[in-house]
């Protein structure tokens, strides 16, 4: 029942966003039964392709909790999170993710990330964006090594 409450809140955020000219996505982040942050997709408003509801919710929660990590939290999303949002949720260490509408349900409306998922499954040399691994000569200290030595 609790999951339905938060999913309904995410869906209501998505519906209101559509009424205001936005895309149909909303998200709610919960910790210990308390809503930590909410958000809607703001890509149209901000012209920022990364302004997905889940990413904005994560950013707000990071600021509120003063931590890059969100252990003990649960994400509720109106739609199945895209690969970018999933990567961010894994990186933030969110414990659980629940969503209301799947890629398959979004497909007829052009709201599915299945094409991106398929692209990311390909070896980098076969992807549609040219991706090359180049390490420049003349670098006096590897930045990863510098970071490791300071931590």
- Determine whether 54 is an active site residue: yes
Query: What is the pLDDT confidence band of residue 77, given thresholds at 50, 70 and 90?
Result: very high
Percent of the chain with pLDDT over 70: 100
Question: Catalytic residue among 54, 119, 125, 145, which?
Answer: 54
Lowest-pLDDT choice from 15-24, 88-97, 135-144: 135-144
Is 90 exceeded by the pLDDT of residue 76?
yes
What 3-state class would DSSP assign to 32? coil
106 Ramachandran zone, left/alpha/beta (phi>0; psi -120 to 50):
alpha
Higher pLDDT, 141 or 128: 128
The residue count of the chain comes to 151
């Amino acid at each position: 029942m609790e999951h339905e409450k938060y999913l309904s809140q995410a869906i209501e955020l998505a519906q209101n966003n559509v009424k205001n000219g936005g895309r149909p996505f909303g998200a709610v982040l919960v910790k210990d039964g308390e809503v930590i942050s909410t958000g809607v997709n703001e890509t149209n408003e901000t012209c920022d392709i990364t302004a997905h509801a889940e990413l904005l919710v994560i950013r707000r929660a990071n600021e509120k909790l003063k931590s890059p990590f969100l252990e003990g939290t649960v994400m509720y999303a109106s739609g199945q999170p895209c690969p970018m949002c999933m990567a961010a949720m894994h990186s933030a260490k969110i414990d659980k993710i629940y969503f209301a509408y799947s890629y398959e349900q979004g497909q007829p409306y052009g709201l599915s990330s299945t094409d991106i998922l398929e692209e990311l499954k390909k070896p980098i040399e076969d992807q549609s964006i040219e991706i090359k691994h180049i390490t420049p000569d003349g670098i006096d200290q590897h930045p990863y090594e510098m970071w490791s030595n300071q931590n």
